[in-house]
Structure 1
C-alpha cells in the first residue's frame, strides 16, 4: 500500500454508496478504496425496480456505476461478497468467503431490510419480498404462470409491486392494514384520489384488512384475513415496509437505536467508522428517502477530504414518489390541525389533488397527487425556513400547460428540482453551462436529475431553454403542449416506434409524466386515430361532458 493513502472500506454498494464514491473520487486521491456489495451487481437505481417489474425498462438500465467506472477510478469492487463481521480492534472486515480486508476508515452503507410480519405461511413457495433485482426476477418468473396475486401492504413498495404485476396482466389485490393507502404520506382525500387511479388500472384494494395466514400445501394457494375472508392467490408479495440494516453494526458493538447512530459528520460511536444511508439514525430520525441520504454522502465525502465545516444537519422533510405510475409529493405534516389554513385543489376525474397546510404564515405540510408542477416551489419554501410570502394560492396552482421555462426561471438556485436524487437548480444549470449538457438525457447522466421517477423532466427542459440551449430539428413545428415537447409528426413517429398505446405511457416516455387537461385530451384523440381505436382509453383524458355523461 502507498503509505500516503488511507485504506477506505465501504460496506454496501447501493445508491447512497455510489453517490458517496462519486463525490469522494471527484475531489480526492488520498484513499485506497475497496467496496463490498452483497448483491452480484454494480450499484443500481433501486427506485426504478418497479419499472423493471412493469416491463418498462431492462435491468441493465438501472446501473449507476458500471464495472468500467470502478476500474477507471482505482476502486476495488467486490460484488457478491457480503461483509459478515467487523473487527474494530484489528480494523478488519471479514466477508462471506472468510477473507479479511484491513481498513483505516470504514463506511457502513448497508441500507435497509424488508419487514416481514409474523404471518403464518410466509415460508411457502410463491411468497416473495420486493427489494432487490433478484426479487424482481423471481416475481416476474412467478407472474408468468400466475392467475391471481395478492400484495400485502399498501405503502409505496406494495403499490409499486402491484402496479408492476398489473402491467404484466396479472390480477392483483392489495391488502392493507390501515383505512387508507400510504397513510404516512397522504391524507384521506389524497389517498382516495390515488385509490381511484389504481382501481382504474384494474387493481382491487382490500382495506382495512389484516392478513392472518398464507394458505397452501407447499405453495401458496390463498391468504386468510383476520375477519374470516379468504382471497385466492398463487403469488404473494409481502411489502410491509423496511427497517435499517443495522445488524452488522450492532454485532461489532457500535451504538444502535432504530438505526446506526451517527453525528453531524456521520461518525458512529467508533471515530474510525462512519455510516450513511437508510441504515443510519441521525438526531433521532431515520430517513427512507434518497434526497437527504445523498446529502449525507456529499457531507461525508467532504469531511473525509478534510473539510472541517462539512456537516449534515438533517434533510428537508419532502419526498417525491412515483406510485404505480401516479406522481406523488409529500412534505411535512400529513394531518391538519384546527388552527391550520387549508389551501386545496381537487379534480378527482383527472386524478389531481393538492393540499397545503399553513399556520402562522409557516408551511406545515403539503400533499400533491397527479400534478407536481408546484413541488419545486414548495421545496424551496421549506428550504428557506418554511415562511410563506406572497401568493399562497400559487402553491396549489392548477396545471395550465405553462411553458416549463417560466416555471424554472422562478425557482431560487438552491431549490431542489429532482426530489428523488436531491439535485438543485444550481447543479443542473452548472451541468448545462459548465459541462456542456444540451439535452435532458445528458443532464441526467451528469446529475441524475429526471433519472428516477421522471416527474421533474419538464423543469429540466425549462432550465435547458433558460440557458439558451437551442431546440432541435423539429422545433419549427409547434409542440403539442409544454407537457409533451414534440411536434405532432415527431410525436406520432415516436408513439408508433415505441408502441405507446395509452395517454399515460406517452406522457411517461415522451413528456413530463403527468400532463395537463389540454394535452391529455389531445393525446387521447390522436392515439385513437393513430392506432385505429386499438389503444387504452384514459377516462381522465375525456372532455368533461364525456366524463359526466358517459
Structure 2
C-alpha cells in the first residue's frame, strides 16, 4: 500500500520504582512527533544532549514532512519522499501511535491514553495544531473533509476516486494547494473564499490578482467574497449554501479555514494558555521545566502557523538545554512556497504595514512573465517584501529584512526598472553574504554551505548529509545547484582571445600616442606628406565625423547587454566587436589630431576619450583572464572597471559639443 503504518513502540507500564526514580535520571520527553518535535530531538542529539529522550506521537505513521502533503495528494510523489525517519540512536526512543492524555506537573509525570505512566526531567510540548472546523450546519456530514495530516490525505485520496465535484472552502495557502491537488484528479473543483482576494494575509490586491489568473488557468473555479453558510444534505453531502444565499451542488466539501493550536493537554495541566501555550524568551511555560515550541506555542502574543518559526524555536531550545545562552526573540513572518504552481514570497509588513513617516512602497510588474513584486522601505531599510512569480532575489530580501541591511536609492532605481535590487551577476549564490539563509527549512546559511563544499561536498546528496539543506521541502535545491556550479572550475569567457587581442591593440595604441610627439607642421609643399589628413579642413572633418560615428556605434552596441533577446548574434561576439571598435577609433583619432593634444577643453576631450578607451580595454582584459583570478577579486575588479568606464562616458558628450561648436564658430 502507499501509506504504510510505522511500528508502534510503547514501553511497559511504569513501575513504582521507575516513577520514583530521581529527577536527574528521568528522560527528557517530547510530546509531538511532527516536524518541530522531530527537529528538536535531532538538534538535541546533534548538540550532544547527555540524557535519554522519549518522543511521543499520536499518529501511527513514521514522522513525515507535512509541507509536501499536497504533492502527495496530487500524486506527484510517493510516501517515501516525505518520510523523515528518526536516526537509530540508543539515546532516542520513539513512541508512535501513543497519545499522551494527562500531565501532572507537580510530580513530573504523564500518562498515555492506555494508562501507561512516564516520568520526565523536562517536558517539551510540540503538539502542533488542528484544522479549524467552522460552526455551520452540516459540517460533520459524511463527505466533509479537512486537510491537515497524513490520515486526512489518505481519506481524500480514497474520496477523489469517486468524487465528481468538490467545493474547497478557504483561499489561503492550504486551500489553494488542496484545490490544485484535487483538480489534478479530474475532479471539478470550486474554491470559495470569503475575503475579496486570495491569500489575503500574505498578498496585496495586485499580487493576488496574478495568483487568481494562475488558479483559474488551471481549471479551478474561484468565488471570492463568498463565505460558507451551511453544508447541505441529510445523510451525505449534496451541496453548500453560501452566505449570500447561492447554492452549489457538490458531493465533497474540503474545509481549509485555518488552524487552532492544540492546547487541551496544557490547559488540563493548568499551564498558562492564551491563543496558544504561553512561553517566554527561554521558551518556558508557566512551569519552569515544561517548554512549548511550534504551532502550539504563543510567544509575545503571537502564534506562528508556519514551520520555519517552529524550527527556530527548536534550535533555540536545544541550545539552551545543552548549556548555551540562547534566547528566542520572535520570528519574521515569511512565506516562500509554490502555490498552484506559482512561486509566492511574502515577508514582513508586505500587506498591512505600520504607518511611518517617509515610508515608501515600490512596485514592479511584468505582465508578460506573470510577475509582480513590491518592496516596503523605510529610511533605507526593508520593512516588507512581496513577489508573485519567479524571483531569484527573494532569499536575499529576507536576509535584508532579518539583518537590517542598507537599501540604497540606486538599488531602488534598479528595482523600478528591472524588478531586482542587486545586479544580475549577484544572482550567483556564491556572491551572497555568508549570513544569508539559503535553506529556510534547516536554517542553513550560504557560509555553512560554502564550508561544506570546501570540505569536499561535491553534489546535492553530500550537501544534504553534511548540512541538511534540501532535505525537507526541496525548494532550495535550485540554489544549491547554483552554488555547487560556482564551486566547479570556472571556464574562460567566450571569445576570450578576441578580447585579449582588442584590449592589447587599444592599450598599445594609447601608449604610443602618449609617448610619440605630435607630427611637425610642414615648412614647404614638398614636406607636406600626409599632413593634409589632419590639416586640410575637408579631410579633418571627415576623420572627425567618422570618429564620432564609431563612438556612437560603440555606445549603441553597448545596448546589446540590455536587449538579451535581440536576435543578432551572441552577446560575447558583440562585446569583442565593441572592444575592436574602441581600438580602431584610436587610429582615426591619431589621423584627426596628428597626435597634437590641443589646448584647454580640447585637451580634456582627448584625455577623457583616451581614458574611456583605456578603461574599456582593461575591463575586456580582466574579463578574458578572470577565470584564473580569485572569485572575489575578479568580481570586484569587473564591477569597478565597468563603472569607471561608464562614468568616463558622461563628460564626453559635453566636451565634444564644445569642441564642435568652437571649431565651426571660429
TM-score (norm 1): 0.80
Q: Deviations over 1:149-173 (max 9, x none)?
A: 0100000111111011012211111
Alpha-carbon shift at residue 279 of structure 1 (Å): 0.7
Matches of 2:334 and 2:405, distance apart in 1:
12
Residue aligning to 1:321: 337
Distance 1:50 1:20, change over 3 A: same
Instruction: Please state whether the residue corresponding to 1:136 is helix, strand or coil.
Output: helix
- The equivalent of 1:26 in structure 2 is 46
- Please name the residue that 1:433 is paired with: 454
Matching of residue 346 in structure 1 with residue 365 in structure 2 = yes
Residue pair 2:263, 2:276 contacting (<8 A) in 1 also:
yes
Q: Residue 390 of structure 2 aligns with which residue?
A: 371
TM superposition shift of 1:13: 0.5
Alignment of 1:102-117 (within 5 A): 102-117=119-134
Equivalent residue number for residue 433 of structure 2: 412
Give the 3-state SS of the residue equivalent to 2:317 in structure 1: helix
In the alignment, is residue 289 of structure 1 matched against residue 310 of structure 2?
no
What CA distance in whole angstroms lies between the structure 2 residues aligned with 1:33 and 1:300? 14
User: Over aligned residues, Cα RMSD in angstroms?
Assistant: 2.5
* SS of equivalent residue, structure 1 residue 35: strand
Q: Distance in 1 between matches of 2:194 and 2:287?
A: 40
Q: What is the aligned partner in structure 2 of residue 498 from structure 1?
A: none
Q: Which whole-Å deviations, capped at 9, do the CAs of 1:184-237 have from their partners, x for residues lacking one? A: 100000000001001110001001001111111311111111111111211111
Q: Distance in 1 between matches of 2:76 and 2:142?
A: 27
- Report the counterpart of residue 245 of structure 2 in structure 1: 228
Distance between the aligned counterparts of 2:256 and 2:461, measured in 1? Answer: 32
1:361-386 Cα distance to aligned partner (Å, 9 max, x none): 22121111111311121111112125
Q: Which residue of 1 aligns with 2:207?
A: 190
CA distance in structure 2 between the partners assigned to 1:375 and 1:414 by the alignment: 15
Matches of residues 143-542 of structure 1 in structure 2 within 5 Å? 143-307=160-324, 309-333=325-349, 334-335=351-352, 339-385=358-404, 387-389=406-408, 391-393=411-413, 397-398=418-419, 406-434=427-455, 436-468=456-488
Q: Report if the CA contact (8 A) 1:84-1:248 is conserved.
A: yes
How far the C-alpha of 1:404 sits from its partner, in A, is 8.6
| Superposition deviation, residue 346 in structure 1 | 1.5
Structure 2 distance, partners of 1:442, 1:52, is 25
Instruction: Tell me by how many angstroms 1:387 deviates.
Output: 3.9
Residues 328/130 of structure 1: CA separation in 2 closer, same or farther (3 Å cut)? same
Residues 413-445 of structure 1: per-residue CA shift (max 9 Å, x gap)? 1112223443322232333334x4322244345
Select the structure with the greater relative contact order (CA < 8 A; seq sep ≥ 6): 1
Q: Which of the two has greater helix per residue?
A: 2
Are positions 1:51 and 2:71 aligned together? Answer: yes
Q: 1:373 to 1:207 in 2, by over 3 A?
A: same
Q: How far apart, CA to CA, are the structure 2 residues paired with 1:259 and 1:145? A: 38
Distance 1:255 1:97 in 2: 26
Of structures 1 and 2, the larger Rg is shown by 2
**Mapped partners of 1:269, 1:43: distance in 2:** 29
Distance change >3 Å, CA 189–CA 325, structure 1 → 2: same
Contact 1:404 1:461 survives alignment (8 Å): no
Shift of 1:84: 1.2
Give the TM-score of the pair, scaled to structure 2. 0.66
Partners of 1:104 and 1:404 in 2: how far apart? 53
Aligned mates of 2:181, 2:200 — CA distance in 1 = 21
Moved more, 360-369 or 268-277: 360-369
Q: Aligned partners of 1:439, 1:157: CA distance in 2, in Å? A: 32
* 1:133 and 2:154 matched: no
Q: CA 1:448/1:351 → structure 2, altered by over 3 Å: closer, same or farther?
A: farther
- Cα drift, residue 44 of structure 1: 1.1
| 1:387-432 C-alpha deviation (Å, 9 max, x unpaired) | 42351355674589x9898521231111122234433222323333
8 A Cα contact 1:343 1:393, kept in partner: no
* 1:447 Cα deviation from its structure 2 partner: 3.7
Counterparts of 2:424 and 2:187, CA distance in 1: 38
What's the CA shift for 1:302?
Answer: 0.9
Alignment partners' CA distance in 2, 1:80 and 1:45: 17
Shift of 1:318: 2.1
The C-alpha deviation readout for 1:119-142, integer Å capped at 9, x for no partner, is: 110111111110001101101111
The CA distance in 1 between the partners of 2:159 and 2:413, in whole Å, is 48
SS of aligned partner of 2:338: strand
Q: Give yes or no for contact 1:450–1:456 (8 Å, CA) kept in 2.
A: yes
Q: Separation in 1 of the partners of 2:98 and 2:425? A: 45
- Give distance in 2, aligned partners of 1:371 and 1:377: 14
| Aligned mates of 2:184, 2:270 — CA distance in 1 | 45
User: In structure 1, the residue corresponding to 2:52 is in which secondary structure?
Assistant: strand
User: Offset at 1:310?
Assistant: 1.0
Equivalent of 1:41 in 32, 39, 61: 61
> Which protein is richer in strand relative to its size?
1
For residue 295 of structure 2, give the secondary structure of its aligned residue in structure 1.
coil
- 1:449–1:31: structure 2 CA closer, same or farther, 3 Å change rule? same
Q: C-alpha distance in 2, partners of 1:155/1:259?
A: 21
Poorly superposed stretches of 4+, deviation over 4 Å: 1-6, 336-339, 393-400, 402-406
Deviation, 1:263, is 1.3
Structure 1's 168 and 204: CA in aligned 2 closer, same or farther, altered over 3 A? same
